[in-house]
Structure 1
Amino acid sequence: MEVVEKMLILTSLLLISGVCVAVDKTVNGGVGGTVELPSELGSLKVEDFRFLKWKFNNTDIAEKFSDQTDVNLHAQFKGRLQLSLDFSLTVRELRLEDSGEYQRVGLKEDGSQIPTYKIQLQVYEPPITSVWIQSEYTWDPENHTCAVRLVCSSSGGLRPSYTWRMRDQTGSSSRLHFFLSPREGNVTITCTAANAASQMSRNHTVRCIPTGDQTTGNTSAHIMTSAYIKI
């Protein structure tokens, strides 16, 4: 299509006022996932249009002029958009910043505009589904204490942060290292994993009880783990 003809079509679209929104639709997706935004052309075919466009927050992201089709017109979506034969739009590898308003607009061959179809896409971070604590204990014969090393991990959610609570102390890390003497008895540590969508905690109770020849570094510790605590 000639540049002048394209400009005429765009100008005619801009002159049309009072565009009616035929349908409002909300689509939800998770970070890293894929969604399809339907074009809702009804009985019309792509060939019935001079042009069709998808906009994201009023910025062109995909378009079809006659036999020419361009996608990924916005740097944010580079390599992540795909148009189907009916002009439905697939968005892959979803990001939080993909949340917003998507509009399908079009101008038929006779110069009339079809109602704009608007879709609100909301992208969520996936929730954390489990939390677990790995532990390692070593007897320190010089100080007569157990060196305790804990590592907190989680699954499901993206970019989790970790916090620890032990007695009246707190820390922000996925790892915790401390010394525990046998006379302190049971000590419960809580690890909480959190992201924008959820948070989940797990308790880990330890007790230092050295056995055997302490000079060799042999030790044992009672380990008790509670159920998950989802908040």
Structure 2
Amino acid sequence: MSGLSRALCSNSMRPIFIALSGLLVASSVSADPVVNGIVGESVVLPAGLSPQENPSEVEWGWGEKTIALSDENVSVEQFRDRLHLNRRDWSLTINLLRAEDSGEYKRIARAASGQLPTHTVTLRVYEKIESEVTRKPLNETCHATLLCTTNQREHVSYRWKRGDQDLPEHAGTLEVSLSPGEINVIFTCIASNPVSEAAASIRESCAESSGGVSFCVLRMVLLSLGLVLMISAVIGVHVRDCAHTKRNVRRHRAACET
């Protein structure tokens, strides 16, 4: 291969090598971890340190405040009596979590060789989810809209089951329609957030009448029968009036002839 060919080949491969190097560097840098916690419970924030780094000083910060130090106790009103700094791996435990504890926590460490890279942990605190299923309308059978409500408005997902069968609906409402004779069909809503899930169920029925006729059909028959009786009564009154009029006419003619 001539010198010119080698130069062209080298120049054409250089962008590929640069791109591959960038991908390797990007893959070696891990994203800051996200930790989920539950209100009232405990959570551990990892320090992201290896045993080889052996830091001499470690500090945890939240916002603009220092909340834990390796060589002294720190008292911050919001976290009073709720923090524990593990002096083996320098992780930070927060007890009795509150919703307002959510945010970014920074671990700063120094070793004999100098300052170590800062490690950031994002904490998201959620309440344990609760769910309830209600229906509307209240007095209708066979057809209903089921409503799944929770104690939270955000970060909630839903799924539904009919008995043991999963349904495709993934919203907070479910339209149900039962056939006559289906009794005590259980519909279950499972609501979840990133830290917990809760299930709530309701029983639905579509009753039949004693003769095997559905309530809807029976209601239509009764309405039709009532309408027939009403029309028959009107016709009967009309016929009676006509007959009475004819009798009066005949009596009048007979009186005139005599």
* TM-score range normalised by the length of the shorter chain: 0.3 to 0.5
User: Higher relative CO (CA 8 A, sep ≥ 6), structure 1 or 2?
Assistant: 1
Computing the radius of gyration over CA atoms, which structure comes out larger, 1 or 2?
Answer: 2
TM-score after normalising by structure 1: 0.47
Higher-strand-fraction structure: 1
Higher-helix-fraction structure: 2
TM-score after normalising by structure 2: 0.43
